Structure 1
Amino acid sequence: MAVPVTTRTGHVIDGQQLDGGLAGNIDVVNPATGEVIATVPSGTATEVDAAVQAAGKAFASWSQTSVADRVAVIRRIAAELGARREEMAATITAEMGSPISFSLNVQASLPIAVANGVADLLDSEFSFTEEIGNSLVLREPIGVVGCITPWNYPLHQIVAKIIPALGAGNTVVLKPSEISPLTAGLFMAVLESAGVPAGVVNLVHGTGPVVGEALSAHPGVDMISFTGSTRAGKLVTTAAAGTVKRVALELGGKSANVILDDADMAAAVKKGVANAYINGGQTCTAWTRMLVPASRHDEIVEMVSAAAAKYTVGDPNEESTRVGPMSSTAQRNRVLGYINKGIDEGATVAFGGADTSGLPATGAYVPPTVFANVRPEMTIAQEEIFGPVLAVLPYDSEDEAVEIANSTIYGLSGSVFSGDPERGLAVAKRMRTGQVSINGGSFNPLAPFGGYRQSGNGRELGKYGIEEFTELKSIQR
């Protein structure tokens, strides 16, 4: 698939594209080649203020549109996303390195399902009113929403925030990641084609410390919805505290895949490795810790290594590639640093490692890696690496497995494999995490998505994602 050349690189404020950056420009680099493929303007507080003012002005009319009219707009957005699916996929692959098959089948396709799902809910099940005794309880739009989105799923995260926000009657200022901003520009073109009025969604490019902080602190913003690292989420919360606005955080994870002794080991290993390496491991919900019975540790490690060997690394534009480059050279160096840290702390490299000599000479590539004999206190078992690195940890009892699974600061996702579904469910209930898959249960875009502890708060997707962008009002009569 040819790499697209997009002219949608400017800010979009009140329906106008602004190409100039008061603070210069930011290069967009293809991580597979190291080449600069575009530039976007580096925004400042000035552009943020203009975008917030535009969103505030548009809120007066957009918030009063009927639910039916908003549903019609969302359905047109979903249709436009479908029409631009290949262009979106190619753009995502070009700017952040996701393999093209994954970009087509997940990165550019899941958002269509999410948008249609929101429209279906608003059309049927979701209610903005409820009668409780003598009270009429209303769900009303919260106002101007600031959406700060990450680079790893650039379209999905935009859609997961903006579509339910619009459906609830809010207006938006979007700050996408400066690593993958071109997808956001294409999304704004989708909104224009779908007939979204000027000012309802505004786009400001730039860095987190400048644009992200200005948006979070702005008194005209009623809510911040942020997806990114736990470290950055704390900074967003601090910046937002001065105006006591609502802050919804979807942060990092260090998810455990608990394989019980009665599990189908072949299926558990195959699905476990696939989930650990999804999107090159650059997925907040990736099952990056595989917990296995100590008595079968060595046997399972051999199976895991054999499965990892099938994950071909290479040009993300090739259909056969399963692991593309990391999103940037900085991310590549970060992942290699964690691999070296694992070696230094005494974990056993069962597959891969820090040697990159067998990888493409150009690009931000790292080898898929498997660590064995990992102890729960090791850095690679505690910190989010965000790369294709899987840690295998042995346990002696089911209670110990649960204890290890819950031993990090995170609680975003997880998995249990067991030959007894009820036993698997019992373990899943004991895991302190926002979502758990049993025996590889598939992702459900209508189920609530979010985390416990330092994986964040609030929920996205389904009716829960719509509720997130509403205020409750009770009227007694």
Structure 2
Amino acid sequence: AEDTPLVARLFAEAVHEAGIPAGVFNLVTGLGPVAGQALAEHPGVDLVSFTGSTAVGRQIAAIAAGQVKKVALELGGKSANVILPTADLAKAVNVGVANVMSNSGQTCSAWTRMLVHRDQYDEAVGLAATAAAKYGERIGPVVNAKQQVRVRGYIEKGVAEGARLVAGGPEAPREKGYFVSPTVFADVTPDMTIAQEEIFGPVLSILRYEDEEDALRIANGTVYGLAGAVWAGDEAEAVAFARRMETGQVDINGGRFNPLAPFGGYKQSGVGRELGVHGLAEYLQTKSLQF
């Protein structure tokens, strides 16, 4: 991302110190519409791998299509954290809130929709509000002023559309810095903007479901499909539900991220996979030699 170039510079230094031959890895910094577009259009580039927003991913895919060039796109998400009635509710809610607040909410795979059974809903909302309050002094700023305005705008839209604020809000928690209050919404319905669009900030929406089929319908009811989570008292129950979710990765009962496993999305969350063997395969071509 053009707002965070120093991470890439550090990686380039590590590549150099590791002794990788010059030219195997090259770093070009610049703005997306300038440097990014030049790389995507260049005839010497055989594949464009992009991580970022779905909107920019569409532009890159269009450029690549003009040259019949392969793309690997890891784009936006609106991941569902489904808490089934048999789950450890307190653990599922607390881990779910932590997941959303990590990196100040700027994580494409964050579980920004928490789905809770109607009989446990009020308890879950209380737990989430308490958990979010603990992040008030700990959470860092978002990346820039534009993103702060964007996230606060979504919070205001949530209030305007009838969601109930139980933690945080649109007001900046500090006078200086691009800070956004850790925010939790209750009484969110699947059609609300905050339940459909990626906010990319520390904002959690809690939705109520009637039964398992209703939960599945809500979980699958966005244009995204990057990640998600399922919690249940029985692992097999959680796995059965996870297999029906239209998403590229699902954590079972708080399962830890595995960098050897393929990572990528369904639907408008992307094309192709990163990490593991599948991630390497994106960069390979298949050739047949026949005698």
**TM-score scaled by structure 2?**
0.98
| Partner residue of 1:214 out of 38, 45, 50 | 38
| Partner residue of 2:249 out of 412, 435, 438 | 435
Distance 1:298 1:265 in 2: 11
Distance 2:236 2:2 in 1: 45
| Partner residue of 2:103 out of 279, 292, 308 | 279
| Partner residue of 1:398 out of 188, 209, 212 | 212
* 1:209-253 superposed Cα distances (whole Å, 9 cap, x missing partner): 111111111111100000000000000111112211110000000
| Partner residue of 1:306 out of 124, 127, 130 | 130
Determine helix, strand or coil for the equivalent of 1:440: coil
Determine helix, strand or coil for the equivalent of 2:240: helix
Displacement over 6 Å in runs of 4+:
none
Shift of 1:476: 2.4
Q: Which residue of 1 aligns with 2:81?
A: 257
Q: Which residue of 2 aligns with 1:112?
A: none
The aligned amino acid for 2:152 is L
Q: Which residue of 1 aligns with 2:263?
A: 449
Distance 1:419 1:191 in 2: 45
Q: Are 1:229 and 2:45 counterparts?
A: no
The aligned amino acid for 2:34 is V
Paired-residue identity, %: 58
The aligned amino acid for 2:205 is A
The aligned amino acid for 1:408 is T
Distance 1:385 1:274 in 2: 16
Q: Are 1:472 and 2:266 counterparts?
A: no
RMSD between superposed Cα atoms in Å: 1.0
Rg larger in 1 or in 2?
A: 1
Q: Which residue of 2 aligns with 1:268?
A: 92
Counterpart mapping for 1:281-296 below 5 A: 281-296=105-120
Is the deviation greater in 381-390 or in 268-277? Answer: 268-277
Q: Are 1:186 and 2:2 counterparts?
A: no
* 1:68-114 superposed Cα distances (whole Å, 9 cap, x missing partner): xxxxxxxxxxxxxxxxxxxxxxxxxxxxxxxxxxxxxxxxxxxxxxx
Q: Which residue of 1 aligns with 2:65?
A: 241
Shift of 1:401: 0.2
Counterpart mapping for 1:35-434 below 5 A: 177-313=1-137, 321=138, 323-356=139-172, 359-434=173-248
Distance 1:184 1:442 in 2: 25
Structure 1 gaps of 5+ residues are: 1-176, 314-320
Determine helix, strand or coil for the equivalent of 2:243: helix
Q: Which residue of 2 aligns with 1:105?
A: none
Distance 2:201 2:219 in 1: 20
Q: Are 1:462 and 2:273 counterparts?
A: no
Distance 2:99 2:2 in 1: 26
**TM-score scaled by structure 1?**
0.60
Structure 2 gaps of 5+ residues are: none
Shift of 1:463: 1.0
